[in-house]
């Protein structure tokens, strides 16, 4: 499950460097006390939030223990990833007509995506190492990272649609699709847990 759902997650997540960065450059008010900071500076939000959020999420998962399963955490990651694009649909709607919107829109989008990443990526990495047969552990780890590459490759092609589709439609379509995939993963969570044979 981890490897199969991973491309869908990164397809959206890694558009931060393309579609979202273009929005930052063209549609956000980046003026602070007369200084216009580069749109690329907003790319630092993700790693900063990862550094801040990683220990907090580690503590959260420890506190929750087995009350939230690995499939459940995956579902949360996909749903949050989808909600980030739903929020982007609202941001681009606010920018219709050439208005510049606050960069806090993008900060909020990145914050939701980071919460999704911290729900899915480290958890999936751990599950992959635990579930893989010992003699195939290296191959499964390779597939895990290959899934990221597949998601990025598909996302790069999908990003072309942002030039032809209305912006709200673009973000809503992929945002709702990711959320729906997350809900689907949640529905099958009990069956997946049974297949995991007690591994958490």
Buried b (16+ CB within 10 A) or exposed e, 13-35: bbbbeebbbebbeebbebeeeee
pTM more than 0.75: yes
Ordered per-residue pLDDT tens for the chain, 200 residues: 555 677 888 999 989 989 999 999 999 999 998 899 999 999 999 999 999 999 999 898 888 877 777 778 888 999 999 999 999 999 999 998 888 999 999 999 999 999 999 988 887 777 777 777 778 888 888 888 888 889 899 999 999 999 999 999 999 999 999 999 999 888 876 766 665 665 55
Question: Phi and psi for 37 in degrees, rounded to 5?
Answer: -80, 150
Which candidate, 64, 1, 36, 26, places its Cα nearest to that of 195? Answer: 1
pLDDT tens, residue by residue, 36-86: 999 999 999 999 999 999 999 989 888 887 777 777 888 899 999 999 999
């Amino acid at each position: 499950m981890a490897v199969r759902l991973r491309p869908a997650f990164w397809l959206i997540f890694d558009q931060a460097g393309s579609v979202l960065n273009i929005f930052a450059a063209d549609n956000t008010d980046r003026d602070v006390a007369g200084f216009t900071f580069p749109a690329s500076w907003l790319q630092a939000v993700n790693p900063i939030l990862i550094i801040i959020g990683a220990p907090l999420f580690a503590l959260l998962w420890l506190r929750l223990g087995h009350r939230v399963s690995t499939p459940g955490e995956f579902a949360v990651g996909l749903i949050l990833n989808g909600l980030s694009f739903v929020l982007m649909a609202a941001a681009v709607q606010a920018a219709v007509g050439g208005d510049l919107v606050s960069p806090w829109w993008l900060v909020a989008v990145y914050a939701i995506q980071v919460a999704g990443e911290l729900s899915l990526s480290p958890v999936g990495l751990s599950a992959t190492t635990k579930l893989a047969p010992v003699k195939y552990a290296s191959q499964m780890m390779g597939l895990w990272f290959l899934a990221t590459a597949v998601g990025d490759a598909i996302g790069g092609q999908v990003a072309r649609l942002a030039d032809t589709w209305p912006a709200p439609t673009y973000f809503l379509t992929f945002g709702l699709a990711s959320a729906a995939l997350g809900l689907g993963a949640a529905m099958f969570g009990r069956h997946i847990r049974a297949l995991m044979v007690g591994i958490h």
